[in-house]
Structure 1
Amino acid sequence: MRSFSYLIIFLFFSCQLKAQTNLIDPAIKTPKAVLDNFMDQRFGMFIHWGPVTLRGTEIGWSRGINVPADDYDNLYKEFNPVLFNADEWVKTAKDAGMKYLTITAKHHDGFLLWPSAVSDYNIMNSPYKVDVVGLLAAACKKYDIRFCIYFTVLDWHDPNYPFHKPGQKNIDAKADMKKFVLTMKSEIQELVNNYHPYMLWFDGNWESPWKNEYGIDIYTYIKKLDPKVIINNRIGANSEHTKLGPEILGDYATPEQKIGALNMNDPWETCMTICNQWAWKPNDSLKSLKECIQTLAKTAGGNGNLLFNVGPMPDGRIEKRQATRLKEMGNWLKLYGESIYKTKGGPFKPNEIYAATRKGNKLYIHVFDKKSNELILPALHAVLVRKAFLLNGGAINYQQAAGVITLQLPAQLPDQNDSVIVLELNTNAESIPVIS
């Protein structure tokens, strides 16, 4: 019996030791102050773009599926986006009220949007021969936008990666993951040393060839290049992107195509498309202004950032309708940005009627839909409302009994997409516990 107990103890500590080997050295993790600054930004632009726009199919995922692999791999020989203008792209982000920009420097198809000494499969061997990544980095600096880079963990084009198309099950016996990881390091070194990204957005970490040990190696390597660069949670071997935790590598969570849940403990960023497809698609449906603004407000209300995707066209332009929609969001933010930037989410969970953000002693209530003349908020115990008013508007009548706040809504809300009511409190709104 005693030997059995010793065995249990041995197995327990062995498992603990194994779990610890999956962790990043805390000394090299991204500083909290850097992550807090990132979360203050609240709104960024995602850009999915490359030679595949010549076919109008999804970037990476259509290789060998919707587009024959040989056709897909040779599209770069026709790729000549002569109307690409980095300043115009970044100015579009600026006018939208976005604070950072993330470009797909390398997606799952393996094509590089920068001149690389590592791989010939890059933009300088297209007819265009322009350093897209470098021009965007410079334009972001000019317009005070934080420059970020998307980089794939998988690469269906690289012969050293064991899979060569989406959904492949049989591993290529000629592949060599050690060589593949070395290639990754060399490409990442070029990106970090040449373009100094604020953040690296990894993706493609769910396929079986990718192991957690590779993620730890890459994270550690990046931190030697730049200790402050932010790294998302898609660098370790996992498919659970909505979470952080001891078993998940990275600095923040990345729910995709859905708004993340209210989380006051872990930083997170929702990535979502302005249309349906990530890369450009002819006649793709465009989200309404109401959906765009409410998505941003609900994301901030959940204490997250929104990375909103555009897919530029084959000639290098962002579609006018996409740019117009973003400008409309920027116009709303000029009036109501105080309730988004540098705020905390909560204390109420966002819903279809309202969301809440907070800063200092102010609680911002984002009203999406007027169901009645009153909006009743859950009770805030030991908290008193001293004043209520429309942001950029007049006073709002209210009652507070047993902590329950009842707001008298005006006959006509000032903004049909999201009207913001400010509640000035007798205490720091950011210290109020989440109302479950």
Structure 2
Amino acid sequence: MLKTRRLCLALGLAVCLTVGAQDNEIHQRSETYEWPTDQLVVKNLKAWQDLKFGVLFHWGLYAVPGMVESWAICDENWITRDSTRTYQQYMDWYFGLADELKPTKFDPTQWAEACSNAGMKYMIFTTKHHDGFCMWDSQETDFTIAKHAFKDDPRRDVLKHVLDAFRQKQFTIGTYFSKPDWHSQYYWWDVYAKKGRNVNYPVDQHPWRWQQFKKFTHNQMNEILSRYGKVDILWLDGGWVAKENRGQDLDMPEVARIARKNQPGIIIVDRTIHGPYENYQTPERTIPETQLDFPWESCIPLSDDWGWVPRPRFKSPEKVIGTLIEIVAKGGNLVLGVGPTPEGLIEPESVKRLNAIGAWLKLNGKAIYNTTITPYYNEGNVWFTKAKDGSRYYAIYRLNDGEKLPTSITWSQNLPKKAIRLVSNGKRVKYKLQGNQVTVYLPKQLPQQSIALEIE
């Protein structure tokens, strides 16, 4: 991902630091949105908007020591690493983790089961992070899980098994792909020093080398979109790789042509790059301040980190549910980051939280899935959504961590005309309508969690 709040390098190899923001050379979320002209893409986008809740998996070399993605090999002033090694020694150690990533307990069926139980409807799997390590059997490089420590395992083509497991649970399928590749000599060329996240040679002076990188990138995208069945979303990270930034032009029209030749109508998310190939926006670790009427998705991890770390600080189920409520009321989707362990499992504490989220959605999901926005969408702790046919509103009281459910809830718009019911069981609740204000009296036996009401 583009931002991370914590970089913890395990095994005593580096430090743990807090990163407020690493915004240099990262485009901010656009203030405008450009709808795609391909009507099949528009249709798929609208179907994706109905899903509301998905999962984003970060899993790669960084899982072995339990550190956050691949940022430690990038030389920027917010990163601190082991000072007893030279930079090259550190790079050699990091890339050498390819010979240690051997997930003998790899069980994508467990992943799919846990995410299905959580009420998630779509998934995005990191095929390659910025370090260039491929989680599929790429023919373009040997730097892939299928050609190192896991090469003798029949499950070595990890991408295939992950996508197959989620298709069996009827998930919409997405593939994350990093546009930069810090392992490739076509992007970070050893002839030049490496400074920062960008290409480390002047593209205009070495056009052949950049052309080779484009060819390499296009070929890899073609692999993940032609060999693994139906893919619904191509989620591209690394927004600094753009024509406007040092001439890092990947020829996005050609990328889109390749993608949609293999997968007609695929949603392309060239995140943070405003224009025809950012089919939905992706605010990271944040929720927009106001409601937005175009496709967008907040990407937020379940813990503080995208990948697995040894001592994670998890968000509570109620925190995630409350975040989902706000995002949906503002017109967006939530994709929740989950990092599988180096053994290839979702750890029990993550599963426990996912189950709790799913239990709430099983009872209250009618107010979340397949809903649309309403102009008056928030009053205090109450958030509003609307049925797509306009027949009813939903009022969802967001219970924050440490709070208790009140005995009554009051709001001043989206008022009832017939009845108010609990979404969880369809039972009517008592209310008083006085002028432009309604007061709803909640039954005493309700559990201490967010509550969804159907307004007829």
- TM-score w.r.t. structure 2 length? 0.79
Residue range with higher mean Cα deviation, 106-115 or 195-204: 195-204
The structure 1 residue matched to 2:51, chosen from 28, 41, 45, is 41
Selected match of 1:140 from 166, 186, 199: 166
Alignment of 1:63-142 (within 5 A): 63-64=73-74, 65=79, 66=81, 68-129=90-151, 130-142=156-168
Residue in structure 1 matching 2:240, options 194, 202, 206: 206
Quick one: which amino acid aligns to residue 420 of structure 2?
A
Question: Is the 8 Å Cα contact of residues 317 and 357 (structure 2) preserved in structure 1?
Answer: yes
What is the CA-CA distance between 1:413 and the residue it aligns to? 7.0
Q: Could you tell me which of 236, 257, 262 is aligned with 1:220?
A: 257
Alignment match, 1:232: 269
SS where residue 356 of structure 2 aligns?
helix
Check the 8 A contact 1:45/1:310 in 2, yes or no: yes
Q: Partners in 2 of 1:165 and 1:79 — Cα distance?
A: 26
Gaps of 5+ in 2: 1-32, 83-89
TM-aligned CA distance change 1:398 to 1:251, over 3 Å: same
Kindly indicate whether the alpha-carbon contact (under 8 Å) linking 1:200 and 1:230 is maintained by their aligned counterparts in 2. yes
Instruction: Confirm whether residue 419 of structure 1 aligns to residue 456 of structure 2.
Output: no
| Equivalent position of 1:58 in the other structure | 68
Q: Which runs of 5+ in 1 are unaligned?
A: 1-22, 239-243, 425-436
Q: Distance in 2 between matches of 1:101 and 1:170?
A: 30
Secondary structure of 2:72's aligned partner: coil
Structure 1 window deviating more from structure 2 (157-166 vs 329-338): it is 157-166
Are the structure 2 counterparts of residues 166 and 337 from structure 1 closer, same or farther at C-alpha, using a change threshold of 3 Å? farther
Deviations 1:73-102 (A, max 9, x none): 111111101011111111111111111111
C-alpha offsets along residues 139-177 of structure 1, whole Å, 9 cap, x if unaligned?
A: 122121122100011112212115886735783256832
Distance 1:351 1:201, change over 3 A: farther
- Equivalent position of 2:383 in the other structure: 355
Higher mean alpha-carbon deviation, 173-182 vs 191-200, is at: 173-182
Q: CA deviation at 1:357?
A: 1.4
Aligned to 2:181: 155
What is the identity percentage for the equivalent residue pairs of Structure 1 and Structure 2? Answer: 27
Deviation, 1:285, is 0.3
- For 2:199 and 2:262, the matched residues in 1 are separated by 35
> What is the Cα deviation at residue 248 of structure 1?
5.9
The structure whose RCO (Cα within 8 Å, separation 6+) is larger is 2
2:321 equivalent in structure 1: 293
For residue 57 of structure 1, report the CA deviation from its aligned partner.
Answer: 1.1
Equivalent residue, structure 1, for 2:225: 192
Cα displacement (A) at 1:27: 5.0
CA distance in 1 between partners of 2:448 and 2:322 (Å): 11
Matching of residues 263-282 of structure 1 within 5 Å: 263-282=291-310
| Segment of structure 1 superposing worse, 255-264 or 353-362 | 255-264
Deviation, structure 1 residue 314: 0.9
Cα offsets for 1:341-377 (capped at 9, x unmatched): 1111333344661211111312111112468654332
Q: Which residue of 1 aligns with 2:85?
A: none
Bigger helix fraction? 1
How far is the alpha carbon of 1:319 from its aligned partner?
1.0
Separation in structure 2 between the aligned mates of residue 144 and residue 217 of structure 1, nearest angstrom: 30
CA distance in 1, matches of 2:362, 2:194: 44
Change in 2 beyond 3 A, CA 1:106/1:29: farther
Q: How far apart are 1:400 and its partner, in Å? A: 3.9
In structure 1, the partner of 2:395 is: 365
| Cα distance change, pair 25–44 in 1 and its aligned pair in 2 (3 A) | closer
Match of 2:15 in 1: none
* 1:394-429 deviation digits (Å, cap 9, x = unpaired): 323334455x231223264724231111101xxxxx
In the alignment, does 2:428 pair up with 1:395? yes
Choose the corresponding residue for 1:339, options 351, 354, 367.
Answer: 367
Alignment coverage as a number of residue pairs:
390
Distance 1:169 1:137 in 2: 31
